[in-house]
Amino acid sequence: MSWELIGGTSDCQKAFYTIIHWLEHSHELKPINITYEVKDNSQLTIAYNPITNQAFITGHKKVHLFLFRGLRLLVEMQKSGVTEKVEEMQFDELNFLLDASRYAVMTVDSIKQFIIILALMGSFR
């Protein structure tokens, strides 16, 4: 099992491996070779070949937004047997608000998991 990240920063690579680890243990991501490439368009494209066990994810310069959304869609594609998916991104960025009121405070572990889920939705750039 290997992952190759083309066009990402070292911070993005660290996040990439953290997300992959979480997906493998939480969402049954099957072992696969993943290549990510940066393109100058607003489309997220995922091509998955179950025979060669390879996936290619291409997206815009905002690596985090496209890469992590692509990983999430890849998990769904593996489960459903879909081999190609193209998604037109509707937003340049997504944001969130974390409520930390007196009776709704999250633990450190739950905040870490929440950040991973937000990344998979494409919330970070």
Q: What share of the chain in percent tops pLDDT 70?
A: 74
- Nearest of 116, 108, 121 to residue 20 by alpha carbon: 116
Return the pLDDT at 120: 67
Q: Name the DSSP class of 68.
A: H
pLDDT tens sequence across 50-70: 888 888 888 876 656 677 788
**pTM reported for the whole predicted model:** 0.67
Distance CA 75, CA 79 (A): 6
Contact by Cβ (8 Å): 28, 22: no
CATH of the domain at 37: 3.30.160.230
Residue 10 lies in domain: 3-121
Counting the structural domains of the chain, the total is: 1
Q: Tell me the mean pLDDT in the region 97-111.
A: 79
